[in-house]
């Protein structure tokens, strides 16, 4: 894993993207923030949906198709019943 500053990365983007082809590249930004650059097709890319997330979306879409949904107003009414203290101002 290679670590570089934002300034170094900005000055040599091609060089560091080439490095990111073969290893994770960490770009360190001030105030303790760091970012990882990896190729988009990496299997372990945590920013893309995993199989469980895709299955949950498919299940939710099936619920919509089959009418197993609640309106916004129904949800708000039920929430106000259960948690009235959250709606008093």
pLDDT digits 0-9 by tens, 9-26: 999 999 999 999 999 899
Question: What's the whole-model pTM score?
Answer: 0.46
Q: Match 């997330």 to its residue by tokens.
A: 53
pLDDT digits 0-9 by tens, 57-71: 999 999 999 999 999
Ramachandran bin of 61, using left for φ above 0, alpha for ψ from -120 to 50, beta for the remaining angles: alpha
- How many other β-carbons are positioned within 10 Å of the β-carbon of residue 19? 15
User: What's the domain range around 21?
Assistant: 2-37
Query: For residue 6, is it within any domain?
Result: yes
Of the candidates 37, 35, 32, the one whose C-alpha atom is nearest the C-alpha of residue 20 is 37
How many structural domains does the chain have? Answer: 2
Same domain, 33 and 55: no
Strands in the chain per DSSP E: 2-5, 25-29, 33-37
């Amino acid at each position: 894993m290679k670590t570089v500053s934002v300034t170094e990365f900005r000055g040599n983007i091609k060089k560091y993207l080439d490095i990111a082809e073969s290893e994770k590249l960490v770009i360190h930004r001030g105030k303790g923030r760091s970012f990882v650059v990896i190729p988009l097709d990496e299997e372990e890319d945590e920013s893309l949906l995993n199989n469980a997330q895709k299955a949950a979306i498919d299940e939710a879409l099936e619920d919509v198709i089959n009418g197993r949904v609640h309106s916004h107003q129904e949800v708000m009414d039920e929430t106000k019943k259960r948690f009235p203290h959250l709606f008093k101002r």
